[in-house]
Amino acid sequence: MFTVLNNYNSFALFLCNFIFCGFSFYYLSPLMLVLLLFLCYRVPYCYSPFIFGVFLVSIVFSMFISLFFCRILNNANEFFSSLVPVGTPLYICPLVCLAESVSYIIRPIVLILRPFINISLGCFGAVALCNLSLGSGAWILALFVLFFYEVFVAIVHWYIVSSILSFSVDH
């Protein structure tokens, strides 16, 4: 009966589509994997910079490249026209197009480097603080505060990655 009303097979699919604004499960599955990895690296002493870098390049970069090729192959004219926003005066259109092109080229680098640097520094800082806490127990409270702060940082970086990727769908 629910299918007759709105073309959804289940109420859960309708709810997911409403909450996640129409993202497909093929898009959300790697994003949830990225969130899981960001949160798993909050566990002390399980961080590997090499595996984290390979993961970011293989998952996040490939998601960006697949979105890029999907936009180019579906409608190349729309992709290139989105480099100049609507309402841009004609005399600055070449500069705006150049700036948007540079922004689009830098976007995958930001997608990889920002979480790598911030989460790596958080892991190394947590290890240093853990080593300090072995000498005295006064650092335990600082460790708890740092842990929750780093969980917050991981969630914020996941949101940044998902926002940049969702922005890449439209621009």
In which band, very low, low, confident or very high, does the pLDDT at 1 lie, cut at 50, 70 and 90?
A: very low
pLDDT in tens, 18-49: 555 555 667 778 888 888 888 888 776 788 88
Q: What whole-number percentage of the chain has pLDDT above 70?
A: 82
pLDDT 10s digits, 112-159? 998 999 888 888 888 888 887 777 777 778 888 888 888 898 888 888
- pTM here is 0.72
Structure tokens at 93: 């259109």
**Residue 35 structure tokens:** 């969130």
170 CB burial (10 A radius; 0-12, 13-18, 19+): exposed
Could you give phi then psi for residue 85, rounded to 5 degrees?
-65, 155
**Position 97 pLDDT exceeds 80:** yes
SS3 content of the chain, % helix, strand, coil (to 5): 80, 0, 20
